[in-house]
Structure 1
Amino acid sequence: MLNLIQNEQMKIYRRLRTWIMALLLIVIVVMAALVSRPGTGANDNWKARAADTIEHNKKELENPGLPDKFKQKLKEDMVIQQYMLDHNYPPAENTLWGGALRASGLIILVTLFTVIIAGDMVAGEFTWGTIKLLLIRPASRAKILFAKYVTTLLFAATLLILMFITSIIVNGFLYGFQSINLPHLTADAAGQVHEGSMLVYTFATYGLKLIELVMIVTLAFMISTVFRSSSLAIGISIFIMFAGQIITMLLLRYSWGKYFLFANTDLTPYLEGQPIAEGMTLGFSITVLVIYFLLFNLLSWEIFRRRDVAA
């Protein structure tokens, strides 16, 4: 099995496009960090802005027509802002961690590049006519397909790690590494502020987006087993990837729309306790994703197992 995975890895990294995608990812992360960097002195008057936010929220809370949920959000924001003033904690968005969290939005690039690889993993063997040479090996079709799938996920993990390390280094130089120990602040319903690890919070954000990446890549891998043309498989995969969110917004008008795959792939709203639709919970989304994950892999296996390669 390890030899199969190693062989698939060699197929990926021997191609020039792989290194172009990696270099392009690094360049885009650096450029995004430079463009999104606040102006000089953005942190100098953060205390004044925090005080203004507290006063503004106090006035808003005097409005009797505000929904209770919105009032609670304002109160939590107030106690966090006051805690920052009391302990001299600058806002995270103007630190190394803020830059790293903004970079998580670029995971869509990692997903795009991995979809290109996934869409070519099986269909490419038919395009180049190497599928017969692959299947005459003593390894079973199940092992071959599993090796290709694992290799695809390893490629995604490699790009994700590359992006994260690049983001930390670039933003460290832009904002300074002195904020490395800045805590992540949260407030409970009782108004108590809790300090958490910003590293853990950042990992959690990336980790939840990684789930979305895995689901889309698994879908692209399944499509690759359906079509013999790698270009067609890649094209369909990319189209579904970008059209998925648009379709989600249309389907969420209906109660059954929450069962749609792309309505559950982004789990980051649950970090803030704000699901994208009423009635959705983290457990619900995970259950839906597990069902889709098993379905995609089952279809991939059945299609690959039954595929006639004699022609």
Structure 2
Amino acid sequence: MGNFFKLVWNEQVKIFGRKSAWVMVGLVVLLVIGSGILTNSFLDESDTKEYSSDWRTELTEENAALEAEIEEAGDFGGFTQQMRIDQNNVALAEDIQPKPYDAWAFTYDNTFMMMIVSLFAIVTAAGIVSNEFKWGTIKLLLIRPIQRSKILLAKYVSVFIFTGILLVTLFVSSVLVGAVLFGINDITQTSVIPTMSGEYLVMNYMTAIWQEYGFSMVSLVMMTTLAFMISTLFRSSGMAIGISLFLLLSSNALMLFLSRFDWAKFVLFANTDLGQYADGGTPLIDGMTLGFSVTILVIYLVVFLAASFVTFTKRDVA
């Protein structure tokens, strides 16, 4: 076990010994700062308003003013006003006093940057094996009295340690930048949280943040493992990055086309979004359940890893 930890540490030294790793960490921070500045410039008075104890009356009056704006805009506007009205109505129905936009709301909004972290994870996984062959350093690894499977496992674990560092960087920088720009409210406060799908969650922001991180991690793990497998099989980081990114970016469109077929529920990308089962949601294809999707994901993960380890341990290195 001690040898394994030394291998993992060695891989971390290799990863952070390259400028690209620090560039990735720096880009995450810069993107968060940019997102904060952009968000701050688009917030309006209703987003930063402190409601009094008579907040129900204030929300009712606000809705009336927004409805007047919608009528004035006619058929060519009023979308954002209607969203605000809907959010206010949920707050009234659930008896939840709105709080000003704060660091937790900003951190939740920044969960979309998990896509950037996934991209960086794929790039790292695609090169961690293939670059050893490219640079000829693979021989230095394999001549050591350590099992090949342990060497490959150390590389696989190291990819996700680095990915975890990127995730922590995203979360911490989002909270800090949000606190500086927007202040910070009680984290246990239940809120009405608008989602990208146009629906509203009634929960505290911390729960919503971890839920988004958790759902996004499923796709991240599967696509990173796919890139790791391709890199191991073909010794090509370019192929691993190209195929993985293409599938990552086109998976939604692909499943939209394939969802008409019943067999499509066995496709990897039909099951990577476990959020489709949250809050009584409707699955992409009839007959799919949470247990079904988890089983399919485990099967794909085992196949990806088995292909990687069998290839790496059996292949001759000239």
Offset of residue 51 of structure 1: 7.2
Distance 1:78 1:35 in 2: 24
Which string of whole-angstrom CA distances, capped at 9 and with x for unpartnered residues, describes residues 179-209 of structure 1? 43322569xxxxxxx9754313311221121
Distance in 1 separating the partners of 2:283 and 2:177: 32
Q: Confirm or deny: 8 A CA contact 1:99 1:171 kept in the other structure.
A: yes
SS at 1:265 equivalent? coil
- 1:104: how far off? 0.7
Instruction: Structure 1: give runs of 5+ residues left out of the alignment.
Output: 57-75, 187-193
Equivalent residue letter for 1:81: A
Q: TM-score, normalised by structure 2?
A: 0.79
What is the 5 A alignment of 1:74-223? 80-83=90-93, 86-90=95-99, 94-184=101-191, 196-223=203-230
Distance in structure 2 (CA, Å) of the matches to 1:258 and 1:201:
27
Over 3 Å counting, the alpha-carbon distance change for 1:133 and 1:217 in structure 2 is same
Which residue identity lines up with residue 173 of structure 1 in the other structure? V
Q: 1:275 to 1:154 in 2, by over 3 A?
A: farther
User: What amino acid is the match of 1:140?
Assistant: Q
CA contact 2:123–2:241 (8 Å) conserved in 1: yes
| Partner residue, 1:42 | 46
Deviates more, 1:144-153 or 1:272-281: 272-281
User: 1:31 matched to which residue of 2?
Assistant: 34
* More deviation, 248-257/12-21: 248-257
In the alignment, the residues of structure 1 paired with residue 307 and residue 241 of structure 2 have an alpha-carbon distance, to the nearest angstrom, of 18
- Give the corresponding residue for 2:314: 306
- Evaluate the alpha carbon distance shift between residue 131 and residue 215 of structure 1 in structure 2; reply closer, same or farther with a 3 A threshold: same
Between the aligned partners of 2:29 and 2:260, the Cα distance in structure 1 is 38
CA distance in 1, matches of 2:256, 2:147: 42
CA distance in 2, matches of 1:138, 1:41: 66
Q: Which runs of 5 or more residues in structure 2 are unaligned?
A: 68-85, 194-200
Matches within 5 A, 1:216-295: 216-277=223-284, 278-295=286-303
Deviates more, 1:124-133 or 1:247-256: 247-256
1:158 partner letter = I
* Cα distance, 1:291 vs structure 2: 1.1
Residue 8 of structure 1 corresponds to which residue in structure 2?
Answer: 11
**Cα RMSD for the two superposed structures:** 2.8
Amino acid at match of 1:255: D
CA distance change for structure 1 residues 195 and 232 in 2, over 3 Å: closer, same or farther? closer
Structure 1 stretch displaced more, 286-295 or 4-13? 286-295
1:304, CA displacement in angstroms? Answer: 1.0
CA deviation after TM superposition for structure 1 residue 156, in Å: 0.8
| C-alpha displacement of 1:129 | 0.9
Matched residues in 1 for 2:125 and 2:61: separation? 46
| C-alpha separation in 2, matches of 1:2 and 1:108 | 29
Contact conserved, 1:5 with 1:147, CA < 8 A, in 2? yes
Structure 2: distance between partners of 1:166 and 1:105 = 14
**What SS does the corresponding residue of 2:287 show, helix, strand or coil?**
coil
Q: 2: CA distance between counterparts of 1:307 and 1:173? A: 53
Aligned partner letter, 1:48: L
Measured in 2, the distance between the counterparts of 1:120 and 1:50 equals 57
Is the CA contact (8 Å cut-off) linking 1:25 and 1:163 kept in structure 2? yes
CA contact (8 A) 1:110 1:156 kept: yes
Indicate conservation of the 8 Å contact 1:51/1:81, yes or no.
no
Return the match for 1:22 from 22, 25, 28: 25
Classify 1:256/1:26 alpha carbon distance in 2 versus 1 (closer, same or farther; 3 Å). same
Deviations 1:56-113 (A, max 9, x none): 9xxxxxxxxxxxxxxxxxxx989842256x452337xx33322111111110100101
Contact 1:119 1:220 in 2 (8 A): yes
Q: CA deviation at 1:50?
A: 9.0
Change (3 A) 1:240 1:183: same
- Give the AA of the match of 2:46: A
- Is residue 122–residue 224 contact of structure 1 (8 Å, CA) maintained in 2? yes
